[in-house]
Structure 1
Amino acid sequence: MPGPKVPAAQSTLRILRFLASRKGPVAASSIATALELPRSSVYHLLAVMTEQGFVVHLPEERLYGLGIAAFELSSAYTRQDPMARLGEPLLRALVDAVGENAHLAVMHGRDVVYVVEERAPYKPSLVTNVGVRIPAHLTASGRSMLAGLPPAQVRALYPDRDSFASRWESTAITTPGQLRAELSRTRERGWAVEEGDVTPNFASVAVAAHDHRGLPVAGVALTFLGHKIDDEQRAELVGHVRRTAEALTRRLHGAVPGGGG
């Protein structure tokens, strides 16, 4: 028998679902109209959710979008067994095909968390053990996912220089402008890369897997000794990574960018 309804809780969840269904942040008035809620209630609930990190307010644009806490809830789900179970056989096949270390990561706030790691025989161990967190903007897998998010959402995650502070010493990207430029290059290429930003002498290439809305939910990556892989070999590795990411997208019943199945 269902329990008593809690109007504020219902309205809060409806607002979160609505924000999750949008491609980017929206105005409070649009939320109130779409959900047929009083504007005063919408503003009050948005203020509470902003304080708790589930919603981010972009005052210059007068828009509201999902906050870091909402991303953490989402990636908490994808970090569980379903994602690992779906990804592990694909990454094993990827490693067998190319002989390099492969890993699968999901977003957790401004970090990536590694949920699958497959090591190739006789290859050096890396820092991408399952459960390890690394700032997303430094990693190929993180960049592959960030490049697929709406620009306003990226601005909400990285509003200023302080957003890039971390225990990692890399100075590859330290400002919102540098991040925008890198993500633009990533979108143009169709895949992400990092060169020694996480571990000296090592490079990584990555492609994102997507959900049913075409939004990135995980990053498939290969890591290798950069000086041992020439441009032709790197292009071949990227092709394998792309096919693996597309296969994972299909397993997730997602939308493959470019109209794939």
Structure 2
Amino acid sequence: MGQVPSATRALRVLRFLAAQPEPVPLERVTAAVGIPRSSAYHLLAAMVEEGFVVHLPDEQRYGVGVAAFEVGSGYARQEPLQRIARRPLATLVDRVGQSAHLAVLHGRDVLYVLEERAPGRPSLVTDVGVRLPAHLTASGRAILAQLPAAQVRALYPDRSAFVDRTGVGPGSPSALRSVLTETRQRGHAREDGEVTPGLASVAAAVLDHNGHPVAGVAVTFVATEGDADRLADAVTTTAATLGRRLSGR
């Protein structure tokens, strides 16, 4: 870790703090990021001075500062992922003749951030801004399948974490593990009637430069009419294209 640049350490600290439900003590930071206590103390002090971290002296804890919120707000304003994805998603729709959408994981839901409707196709519930249970959607499964197992377990610790829309779909952690294993083996995710009866979807994850899933690209079609394998090939190609563009490659 001694050869890791200070900027990389600072980003790792910020990412760790942003993932916590509340401010944490210094020891939690050093253990999570893997840097000595003295280095972490000086690094956090610098980040506090710049406003990216806030120090709560009475509790001896550190949390995310206002400057980090401003950075996040800038991302929301610029919408780089949506801007990068708009043309490839339109190309995908032209290629397969089915509606397509882009979703990101938000807790145990997926949030739809971009959609391209194909002419003459059925109306969908996946409008921009809509949230749906991640474990029931192809987009959500594509993303969940690429997450560390511990993170999936934290999201779905027991049966109470699962909701049902149409009476089908995984309803327990073990059932979800099976679905995600099949997704990884297949190379893409599928759902059939689990969101809307009669409609099916295929999806693939968009991976960033670290191999982390940042979004899912999906195509939805009438279950009895679409060629799932052909659509999956097109979706997987589009997701790979977005991953390369997002990483600047």
CA deviation map 1:84-134 (0-9, x unaligned): 111111110000011001000001111000011101111111000000000
Equivalence for 2:160: 162
Distance 1:162 1:244 in 2: 35
Equivalence for 1:8: none
Q: Using structure 1 for the length normalisation, give the TM-score.
A: 0.70
Question: What does 1:1-261 align with in structure 2 at a 5 Å threshold?
Answer: 15-17=13-15, 28=28, 31=31, 34-37=34-37, 77=75, 81-165=79-163, 168-229=165-226, 233-253=227-247
Distance 1:124 1:204 in 2: 13
Equivalent residue letter for 1:236 = R
Distance 1:13 1:250 in 2: 22
CA distance 1:78–1:253, change in 2 (3 Å): farther
Equivalence for 1:69: none
CA distance 1:172–1:14, change in 2 (3 Å): closer
Spell out structure 1 runs of 4+ moving beyond 6 A.
73-76
The Cα shift of 1:172 comes to: 1.0
CA distance 1:28–1:235, change in 2 (3 Å): same
The Cα shift of 1:34 comes to: 2.1
CA distance 1:137–1:32, change in 2 (3 Å): closer
Distance 2:225 2:91 in 1: 22
Residues 75 and 108, structure 1, Cα contact 8 Å, conserved in 2:
no
3-state DSSP of counterpart to 1:228: coil
Residues 104 and 220, structure 1, Cα contact 8 Å, conserved in 2:
yes
Equivalent residue letter for 1:226 = A
Which structure 1 segments of 5+ residues have no match? 1-10, 22-26, 55-72, 255-260
CA distance 1:207–1:127, change in 2 (3 Å): same
3-state DSSP of counterpart to 1:238: helix
CA deviation map 1:155-188 (0-9, x unaligned): 111111111136x344411111110010000000
Aligned length: 211
Residues 166 and 197, structure 2, Cα contact 8 Å, conserved in 1:
no
CA distance 1:194–1:75, change in 2 (3 Å): farther
3-state DSSP of counterpart to 2:209: coil
Distance 1:37 1:211 in 2: 30
Residues 78 and 106, structure 1, Cα contact 8 Å, conserved in 2:
no
3-state DSSP of counterpart to 2:218: strand
Residues 161 and 176, structure 1, Cα contact 8 Å, conserved in 2:
yes
Residues 115 and 127, structure 2, Cα contact 8 Å, conserved in 1:
yes
CA distance 1:210–1:132, change in 2 (3 Å): same
Aligned-residue Cα RMSD (Å) equals 3.5
